[in-house]
Amino acid sequence: MAIEDVKSSINEMALAQLNLAADRIGLDLNVRTRLSSVDRALIVSVPTRMDNGRVHVFTGYRVQHNDTLGPFKGGIRYHPEVNLGEISALAMWMTWKCSLAGLPFGGAKGGIACDPTELSRNELQGMTRRYTAEILNFIGPQLDIPAPDMGTNEQIMAWIMDTYSQHKGHPVPGIVTGKPVAVGGTLGRREATGRGIAYVVEQATTHLGMQLTKCSALVQGFGNVGLVTARELARLGITVVGVSDRSGGIYNSRGLPIEDVVRFKERNKKVLHFPAGDKIDGKSFLELPCDILVPSATEMQITQENAALLKCRILVEGANGPTTPEADKILTEKEVLVIPDILANAGGVIVSYFEWVQDLQNFFWTESEVNQKLNGMLARSFHAVVELNRREHVSLRLAALMIAVQRVGRAMLLRGLYA
């Protein structure tokens, strides 16, 4: 299926990025055509018994972009705006992310169009189990391994693992990553994406000769990625001056006490009205002064409308696709160092890879082994990207895409076309 069949602005963005990298590396035309399409896209009905007794039919998706380098790998998103176009673009980005990190995985993504905050635990469990049953023949530890993304968490991964295992008749922990440690998850996975972002920030500030303890940061999104990022940046000595979530943002130029914000959010379900910070609306939040801006919420947050208004020196993409290509150009002119998503937030999939390896071997590592290996892999990716950016005079995003697309392209040519 051609990715153009599911036209959406986010798909166009993913295709534009592929074409830029393909032009620059002179990618074989046949390979480019194949990579512009996804391998497989499933749309499934997910009938779910609601607490009021009625059956609601949700729509679920699983899109597999390319498995040249290994089994498909990618998260599952629960969000009202999930659609085929968005999931296809996210699947393509997973192919590049795995390739850049040197992981033996291809790219996939899945999701259900729903608002998980409006569902009871019972409804969430029923919907997750039925979705798993609907895609059961297309996933597997050697075929396609889901993981958490926006709106999903360890509990949901445990239900997927249980449903799959019940169908197979034996426990299959390697079917998903991001599971609770008690059912075969790995230490350090919950924190991996945010911790990885902090490791990348350390590399980036060293690269620019900036001192961590003199830096301030803003983090948009206070979920799995944003909360851990804020906590890890504070641990490095960076002053976290603002955090935000769907309800809006809070700002304090002297720094926010992150652990207090976390407790406040646990109690009130949102960061807004935290007493030691000024209330900021979501739109103005990104334009506040800071050295490091980490959008960790959702796509297309930095566009040609607000890019010129940003005041950061480094933009670290915690979310997938938060910056549009038009905004990218403006940021390059402003000399903002943009660390692209496929590098910056790769900590999640890297530790997912560690989890999968541990599950297949039934041999588990300590958290410090996990963190040390994660740091090493991200540092290697960062240096490879910076080296190409210097040599070819291209942005970090283009350099990262060039490495990733090249690796997949070479492997495709070696494997050839099965006809």
What residues line the site for ligand NAD (CB under 6 A)? 148-151, 193, 220-226, 244-246, 282, 296-298, 318-320, 345, 348
Which is the catalytic residue, given 97, 109, 179, 265? Answer: 109
Dig out the tokens for 293 from the structure: 């801006």
Q: Which is nearer to ligand NAD, 27 or 149 (CB)?
A: 149
Dig out the tokens for 142 from the structure: 């050697």
Q: Which is nearer to ligand NAD, 273 or 415 (CB)?
A: 273
Q: CA 273, CA 131: separation in Å to the nearest integer? A: 37
Q: How far is the CB of 349 from ligand NAD (least distance, A)?
A: 7
Question: Taking every pair of C-alpha atoms in the chain, what is the biggest distance, in angstroms?
Answer: 64
Decide: 142 and 168 in contact? Cβ < 8 Å: no
Dig out the tokens for 271 from the structure: 């960061």
Candidates 85, 67, 63; CA nearest to 76 is 63
Q: Is the dihedral of CA 79, 82, 87, 90 positive or negative?
A: negative
Q: How far is the CB of 402 from ligand NAD (least distance, A)?
A: 21
E-strand stretches of 263-313: 278-280, 292-295
Q: Which is nearer to ligand NAD, 22 or 292 (CB)?
A: 292
Q: Which is nearer to ligand NAD, 297 or 404 (CB)?
A: 297
Q: How far is the CB of 394 from ligand NAD (least distance, A)?
A: 23
| CA distances to 174, 359, 360 from 171, in Å | 9, 11, 12
Q: Which is nearer to ligand NAD, 146 or 223 (CB)?
A: 223
Residue 109 annotated in active site: yes
CB-based contacts of 287, cutoff 8 Å, min separation 6? 306, 309, 310, 311
Which runs of consecutive H residues, i.e. helices, occur in 26-105?
29-35, 84-101
Q: How far is the CB of 211 from ligand NAD (least distance, A)?
A: 28
Q: CA 414, CA 410: separation in Å to the nearest integer? A: 6
Q: CA 264, CA 273: separation in Å to the nearest integer? A: 9
Q: How far is the CB of 116 from ligand NAD (least distance, A)?
A: 8
Q: Which is nearer to ligand NAD, 184 or 409 (CB)?
A: 184
Decide: 87 and 37 in contact? Cβ < 8 Å: no
Helix (H, G, I), strand (E, B) or coil at 244: strand
Residue 279: what residue type?
A: K
Q: How far is the CB of 70 from ligand NAD (least distance, A)?
A: 18
Residue nearest to ligand NAD (CB): 223
Phi, psi of 50 (to 5 degrees): -85, 165
Active site residues: 109
